[in-house]
Structure 1
Amino acid sequence: MTDKIISTPQNLQVLYEDNHLIVVNKRPGDIVQGDKTGDVPLSKVVKEYIKIKYGKPGNVYLGVVHRLDRPTSGIVLFAKTSKALPRLNKLFKEKDAKKTYWAIVKNAPPQQQDTLVHYMKRIPKQNKSYAHNKEVPDSKKAILEYRVIKSLNNYFLLEIDLQTGRHHQIRSQLSAIGCPIKGDLKYGFDRSNKDGSIHLHARKLIFEHPVKKENIRITAELPRDPLWDASL
């Protein structure tokens, strides 16, 4: 990846924070948890941010609730307490958190809005998931709803509500209907974005606070580039 800005404790985009949780706007290129690349993960950056902001000595507790693919941007939620983490995990597992994504695709979808149902089979060696129209061995049902919310110059902006949370689900399902996401070479787009990103953004998150029990609504600002700018 080139020409990318990676999150640091100094430039972290914090969308919401209290004693129990912190929500950040992940930049494309940030990796949520450590992997074989050895790059500094977003979880470590957030820990360092908390340590600096509150002058905490020693280790900082931080629980990873969910993840976003490295080239994707948008909302990532972390738990700051061991009390909040299992409650947030339960919330996501039982699909009580509403996640809305925006995606920019080259081709117009078959319908202005639709519900896509596929059976996803993950191939770990390829780090890729394939969307099948019928159930196949070791596949998991994947459901999302999309609608076209804007026509851009040669592109289309989709809003997507996830009903399930499968590996590379949005990327694979949109590719399966002939609408690969801009920049997503892995799922059929014809060229990469110069910064290695793809035009997929976790735009909104609605959930019940695990301790306060109040409704939390988060919206993440879009990355800055001409296509995203044209989406607003």
Structure 2
Amino acid sequence: MNDREESYDLLDEPDFSENNDASENGLQYEHHRFIADSGQNLLRIDKFLVNRIENASRNKIQEAADAGCILVNEKPVKSNYRVKPNDIISIVMSYPPREIQIIPEDIPLNIVYEDDAVIIVNKKPGMVVHPGHGNYTGTLVNALAWHFKDQPWFNADDPRPGLVHRIDKDTSGLLVIAKTEAAKIHLSGQFFNKTSTRTYQAIVWGTPPEEEGTITGHIGRSVRDRKQMAVYPDGDYGKHAVTHYRILERLSYVTLVECRLETGRTHQIRAHFKYIGHPLFNDERYGGHQILKGTTFSKYKQFVENCFAVLPRQALHAKTLGFIHPVTGKYVEFDSELPTDMVAAIEKWRHYISGRDVEE
């Protein structure tokens, strides 16, 4: 076997922080890429791949093909496609189960939508998505295990049942969870191919210069602090990342912005806005927990500290989520309201502005 393989993990490099923050990118899927040898005989692609991917069944590969997750020369193919010399083949598949005990816990879930294929959850801030170092209970996965435990299809050995993407512990908002293997494969392909749509709302320090803008810069682990991600504009390190934003409301020394992700890297919005000089409000890891704009008056300092108290986390919420439904084939989009802590902080800033205008 002389063909070449490159293997990619859609999950960005693990976050070694105590909070187990994680990537917003595809979660538990791997990407294999093969280049067929120049002497390759015509061979069905499902047979070609089952001989090259460890622990992959032919049925699993055929499901990936049916979901459009097998590409040859950047075009989706069916499982009966015959591999030709020098074909470039890529496939997205779920990882085999890992040895980890998931304890079902009766934790309330804010379920926005549910059918036989998917469930949409509005995650509260402070909840870790899946168990990891220092967070083995109380996670979204523990709650999902309880929710799914009586379902015949539920696999108790799956360490991340149904997850296809994730958001940071202290970020609130929408997540889609797949309820079947076929749905997992289908949704993971959308996240990998960037055909899903996601918008976030954030409060940032200062005011970006333009009403709308795009932040571009490779994101990788910081060489100075492994708990942070850093932006590398020259592209020599890290992974390509693009964040589009528009201003929703100017609130004096802070701004409410909407962000649309073109890519999904670890801490992408948080790192990108720090990079352009506008860290997220009260984002301790990226410096937003300090007073970065405003006056030196003690009254103002007390006001900001009060805002920090009502919003004790980074001001970031995953507001909308859209994708092609894995069963109906139709585009669906879900929206969520801003959580009460962000609403309270915004109202405080509005009140501050109105009071200042009266004084002036």
TM-score (norm 1): 0.86
Distance 1:151 1:113 in 2: 13
2:49 maps to which residue? none
Give the conservation status (yes or no) of the 8 Å contact 1:24–1:77. Answer: yes
- After TM superposition, the structure 1 = structure 2 runs for residues 1-232 of structure 1, keeping only pairs within 5 Å, are 9=106, 11-37=108-134, 38-51=136-149, 55-56=150-151, 59=155, 62-123=161-222, 126-136=226-236, 138-152=237-251, 154-191=253-290, 193-194=308-309, 196-225=312-341, 226-228=344-346
Give the conservation status (yes or no) of the 8 Å contact 2:175–2:321. Answer: no
The aligned length equals 221
Give the conservation status (yes or no) of the 8 Å contact 2:162–2:180. Answer: yes
1:66 alignment partner AA: H
Distance 1:59 1:167 in 2: 28
Secondary structure of 1:126's aligned partner: coil
Distance 2:232 2:329 in 1: 39
Give the conservation status (yes or no) of the 8 Å contact 1:71–1:197. Answer: yes
Which gives a bigger RCO, structure 1 or 2 (Cα 8 Å, sep 6+)? 1
Moved more, 61-70 or 178-187: 61-70
What displacement does 1:21 show? Answer: 0.8
User: CA-to-partner distance for each residue in 1:164-209, whole Å, 9 max, x for gaps?
Assistant: 1111110000011111111101112134944642110000011110
What displacement does 1:140 show? Answer: 1.4
Q: CA RMSD in A?
A: 2.4
Give the conservation status (yes or no) of the 8 Å contact 1:222–1:228. Answer: no
After superposition, the Cα gap between the structure-2 partners of 1:131 and 1:43, relative to the gap in structure 1 and judged at 3 Å, is same
User: CA-to-partner distance for each residue in 1:73-128, whole Å, 9 max, x for gaps?
Assistant: 00111111112101110010001101101000121012221111112122497222
Secondary structure of 1:83's aligned partner: helix
Structure 1: which 5+ residue stretches go unaligned?
A: 1-7
User: CA-to-partner distance for each residue in 1:14-38, whole Å, 9 max, x for gaps?
Assistant: 0110011111001111111111113
2:207 alignment partner AA: A
User: Which is strand-richer, 1 or 2?
Assistant: 1
Structure 2: which 5+ residue stretches go unaligned?
A: 1-104, 291-304, 350-360
1:43 alignment partner AA: V
1:80 alignment partner AA: K
Distance 1:93 1:25 in 2: 22
Moved over 6 A (4+): none
Give the conservation status (yes or no) of the 8 Å contact 1:152–1:230. Answer: no
Give % identity.
33
Larger radius of gyration: 2
After superposition, the Cα gap between the structure-2 partners of 1:165 and 1:133, relative to the gap in structure 1 and judged at 3 Å, is same
User: CA-to-partner distance for each residue in 1:20-75, whole Å, 9 max, x for gaps?
Assistant: 11110011111111111134220120221233xxx447756731110101110001
Distance 2:249 2:106 in 1: 35
What displacement does 1:222 show? Answer: 1.3
Secondary structure of 1:174's aligned partner: helix
TM-score (norm 2): 0.57
What displacement does 1:153 show? Answer: 5.4
